[in-house]
Amino acid sequence: MNGLGRRVLITAFDGWNDAGEAASSAVAQLREAADYEPVFSVDPELYFDYQYTRPHISADADGRRTLRWPEATLYRPKRATRGTQLWLLTGVEPARAWQAFAGEFVDAALAEDITGMVALGSMMSDVPHTRPISIFAGSDNEQLRVSQGLERSTYEGPVGILSALGHAAEAAGIPTAALWASVPHYVAGHTPSPKATLALLDRLEDLTGARIDRGDLATAAAAWEASIDAAAADDEEMTEYIRQLERTRDTWDSPEASGDAIAQEFERYLRRGGEGHGKPGRDDPRR
For the chain, what are the domain ranges?
7-273
For the entire predicted model, the pTM comes to: 0.85
Supply φ then ψ for residue 131, to 5 degrees.
-110, 165
With vertex at residue 164, the alpha carbon angle to CA 274 and CA 107, rounded to the nearest 5 degrees, is 150
CA distances, 12 to each of 30, 84, 130, 202 (Å): 11, 19, 25, 16
Q: What is the pLDDT of residue 80?
A: 83
Query: What homologous superfamily is domain 7-273 in, according to CATH?
Result: PAC-like subunit (3.40.50.10900)
User: How does pLDDT run across 182-231, given as a tens digit for each residue?
Assistant: 998 888 766 799 999 999 999 999 999 999 999 999 999 999 999 888 88
Environment class of 250 (CB within 10 Å of its CB; exposed 0-12, middle 13-18, buried 19+): exposed
With vertex at residue 282, the alpha carbon angle to CA 286 and CA 266, rounded to the nearest 5 degrees, is 35
**Spatial contact of 144 and 4, defined as CB atoms under 8 Å apart:** yes
Q: H or E element: which one contains 68?
A: strand 65-68
User: How does pLDDT run across 55-86, given as a tens digit for each residue?
Assistant: 999 998 888 999 999 999 999 999 888 899 99
Query: Average pLDDT by consecutive 10-residue portion of the chain (287 residues)?
Result: 90 90 96 96 96 91 90 94 94 95 98 97 87 92 92 84 95 96 82 93 96 95 90 83 83 58 58 47 33
